[in-house]
Structure formats: structure tokens, C-alpha cells
Amino acid sequence: MIFITGDVHGEYDLRKFGKDEFPAQSGLTRKDYMIICGDFGFLWDESRTERYWLKWLERKPWTTLWIDGNHENYSLLGRYRIEDWKGGKIQKITDSIYHLCRGSVFTIDDKKIFAFGGAESHDKQFRIPGVSYWPQEMPSLREMTLGAENLEKNDWKVDIVISHSLPTFILKELEMTDIYKPNRLTDFFQKVNHNLDFDLWFSGHYHRNMQCTHKHYMIFDSIAKITGNTFEIVEGEELD
């Protein structure tokens, strides 16, 4: 089974994975996948607290998959080896926690999943480079080209898109551009959205549980379970 949820921010938004909050976890195995739509936040300062909660997450029965958001320590992430997995590229953080590299298309449980992390911090002027802000939060032209090439190899057809940001037109339609300014990444997603045949697109970043269009969703503390070409919410509020 594939589950999808939003930002975790290290230990700050982990509560959703508690046994009381998410009782269905008791029947899961490493062949079930929990995908986090960015702001994983467990590669941050290598503190004891961070290591404790990472171990807590590691002990969960599923395999955790995460894309990067704008709250990751990219210097730490860069230390992990890139390897092949299910058609795409990953970095194994632990035996059951994998980072999904930008632009990969994975085949997981017969679903093709396009993963593309990154986002622009709207408060970066208040952050410290190399301590609480990394310019790598914004994907490079090379990464976007790689993503497009991988979609081309898949004939521009996938089942699910996992991103941190959303396409520009959605931010405009929802009148969110005063905070979440359009940028080269949201414009890239706009092109991807135009060319790609897909069923579902999930994003984190906005800290909302919300349906944006008939295919685009913001997810935060809810957990969605993929069922066929749609999903059901198994924890938290519906995405209305």
C-alpha cells in the first residue's frame, strides 16, 4: 500500500505517525510506503533529539520515502550516496528511510510516481545561509531538465506526482502569490502539468489539507491511502 502525507519538520509534526493517531499501521510491513511531500526535516543539526526521533521513525513498520522541501539541511543530504531504486534514484538515510531524488520516476506497487522536491523559502531573508537556509532548496535547471527527460522516457504519463510546491496557476487561482511567489520551479511545474497525463498531484509546503483542483491536493497532517486511481483519507481531516 502507498500512503501519502505532508510535511514532518523533524519531530515537530510527527504526531500523525503515533499508534493512536494512525492505528492502521499495525498491519503494515516494509513493503508498504509512507511518502512525505517535503520538509522531512530530520537532516538538520544531527542533534541527539534528532537522532532519537529518526530512530523512532525507523522503527515504524513501513518504508518511509520523502522528497526534499525547503527545510532540509542540503549539506548533510549531500553526504548520502545516490543509488538506483525502482526505476529512479534515491539516497538511503537508513535501511527503511529513503530520500527520493528530484526528477525520478519510480514504479511502486504498480504505480508510476514522479518525485520532484524543492521550494523557495518565503522567509529566507530571516534565515542564515548554511544554518537555516540552503540555496539548493531551489532546483537547478539541470535537475528540471533531468525531470523532463525522465517524463519523456515515460511518454509523459504517470499515476501520481509528489512535489513540495505546486504549479503557478494554482497559486494564482487560490490568491496565494503574496506569500508564495511564483518562481522558476512553479513555472516548471506549470509546464509539467500541461504536458503530463496523471491522476493525482500531492504537495506539502502550504501546511493545508485541501483539494485545489480535481487532481491537485495540498496535504499536511492528514494521511491519504492510494486506492486505485484515487485515494481515501485514513487519518486526519478530509482534503476539501
Please give the residue ranges that form the binding site for Fe ion (CB under 5 A).
7, 39
SS3 231: strand
Q: How far apart are CA 239 and CA 232, in angstroms?
A: 10
Residue 183 C-beta: closest distance to Fe ion, Å: 16
Report the residue number, 88 or 118, with the smaller CB distance to Fe ion: 118
SS3 123: coil
Report the residue number, 2 or 219, with the smaller CB distance to Fe ion: 219
Report the residue number, 7 or 32, with the smaller CB distance to Fe ion: 7
* DSSP H stretches of helix in the chain: 48-58, 74-77, 141-153, 168-173, 184-195
Residue 28 C-beta: closest distance to Fe ion, Å: 25
Residue 5 C-beta: closest distance to Fe ion, Å: 12
How far lies 219's CA from each of 5, 134, 189, 205, 233, in Å? 6, 24, 17, 8, 10
Residue 122 C-beta: closest distance to Fe ion, Å: 11
Position 175: which residue type?
Answer: E
Report the residue number, 141 or 179, with the smaller CB distance to Fe ion: 179
